[in-house]
Amino acid sequence: AQSVSQHNHHVILSEAASLELGCNYSYGGTVNLFWYVQYPGQHLQLLLKYFSGDPLVKGIKGFEAEFIKSKFSFNLRKPSVQWSDTAEYFCAVNVRGTGRRALTFGSGTRLQVQP
Amino acid sequence: DGGITQSPKYLFRKEGQNVTLSCEQNLNHDAMYWYRQDPGQGLRLIYYSQIVNDFQKGDIAEGYSVSREKKESFPLTVTSAQKNPTAFYLCASSQGDGPTNEKLFFGSGTQLSVL
């Protein structure tokens, strides 16, 4: 079964620090990859997604992620975080060609940005 | 406004009782999903439905049941067989075929607790 690993469970950064959150998936087929964010008191929302093409994808609010197929990774980055980036971040994957469109999520990373 | 409505926001279950969580969407989406969110475990898929009158078990379906009699509605019943029902339950929907449509829209969730 496909699985998603997020190794950083809780990250604390100061404003203006750079961010990289790790995400690895277990399936070797063709995958669609996503990062979702849950701000305090808000719905889960899509941050960015990768389906094909350029492995470096850009999302909202200055976030980007790089798909490295050889490493089964899709790490999320931001060069300079802000206090408003405090949230929980989830990596997710679904596998093409299986008939299952539902996403498999990682366990999440709680990011706390200190002013 | 288009979106997904989950009710109630908070729900309490007594031992041996079945409870039903409501999920309604007015986005005209074909697919709907139920996830369970536990601290440190991320989102785990309970059931999903890709079309009306059809649904499939997710990764943790035991102790849960669903129906999909209408496109806009996908209620989840937590049965007495679910021994650890305390969790935050999220409903989501998505539209269409093909990878470019695999964007999930989430509801605001229902917190279920056992009395």
pLDDT (tens digit, 0 to 9) for every residue of chain A, 115 residues total? Answer: 678 999 889 999 999 999 999 999 998 788 899 999 999 989 899 999 998 899 999 999 999 999 999 999 999 999 999 999 999 999 999 888 777 778 999 999 999 999 9
Q: Tell whether B94 lies on the interface with A, counting CB pairs under 8 A.
A: yes
Nearest to A102 among B41, B45, B108 (CB): B45
Q: Taking residues B52-76, report their average pLDDT.
A: 96
Amino acid A91: pLDDT: 96
Nearest to B42 among A43, A90, A101 (CB): A90
Under a CB-based contact definition with an 8 Å cutoff, are residues B51 and B72 in contact? no
Amino acid B2: pLDDT: 67
Under a CB-based contact definition with an 8 Å cutoff, are residues A98 and A31 in contact? no
Amino acid A109: pLDDT: 96
Find the Cα–Cα–Cα–Cα dihedral A61, A54, A101, A27, rounded to 10°: -110
d(CA A96, CA A30): 6
d(CA A21, CA A70): 18
Reference B44, options B31, B58, B57; nearest CA is B58
d(CA A112, CA A88): 9
In chain B, which residue's Cα lies nearest the Cα of A105? B43
Q: Which residues of A touch B59 (CB under 8 A)?
A: 1, 104
- Cβ–Cβ of A51/B103 closer than 8 Å? no
- Cβ–Cβ of B43/A105 closer than 8 Å? yes
Q: How confident is the model at residue B68 (pLDDT cuts 50, 70, 90)?
A: very high
| Whether the predicted pLDDT of B1 surpasses 60 | no
d(CA A53, CA A10): 31
Amino acid A94: pLDDT: 87
Q: Are strands B110-114 and B10-13 parallel, antiparallel or unpaired?
A: parallel
- In sequence order, what are the residues at sequence separation of 6 or more whose Cβ sits closer than 8 angstroms to the Cβ of residue B74? B23, B25, B32, B33, B34, B49, B55, B66, B67, B68, B91, B93
Amino acid B73: pLDDT: 98
Amino acid B72: pLDDT: 97
Amino acid A27: pLDDT: 81
Amino acid B39: pLDDT: 85
Q: Which whole-number Å values give the CA distances from A93 to A17, A26, A85, A109, in the listed order? A: 27, 10, 22, 16
Amino acid B41: pLDDT: 86
Nearest to B106 among A6, A9, A44 (CB): A44
Instruction: Tell me what the pLDDT averaged over chain B comes to.
Output: 91
Q: How confident is the model at residue B100 (pLDDT cuts 50, 70, 90)?
A: low
- Report which of residues B101 and A90 the model is more confident about: A90
